[in-house]
Amino acid sequence: MLLDDFIIDANERLFMIRDRLNGPLGQPQLAEIYKHVRTINGLAMHLEVSHIKAISTAIIQLLECVINGTAGFSGRLDNLFQDSVSFLQLCLKELKLKISLGCEEQYLYLLNRLQAEVTIRTG
H or E element at residue 49: none
Cβ burial of 83 (10 Å; 0-12, 13-18, 19+) is middle
Say if CB 18 and CB 40 are below 8 A apart.
Answer: no
Distance separating alpha carbons of residues 52 and 91, to the nearest angstrom: 7
**Distance, CA of 46 to chain centre:** 16
Q: What is the pLDDT of residues 19-67, one digit of tens each?
A: 998 888 888 888 999 999 999 999 888 888 888 899 899 989 988 988 8
Checking if the pLDDT of 119 tops 80, the result is no
Whole-prediction pTM value?
0.77
Q: Which domains does the chain have, with CATH numbers?
A: 3-122 (1.20.120.160)
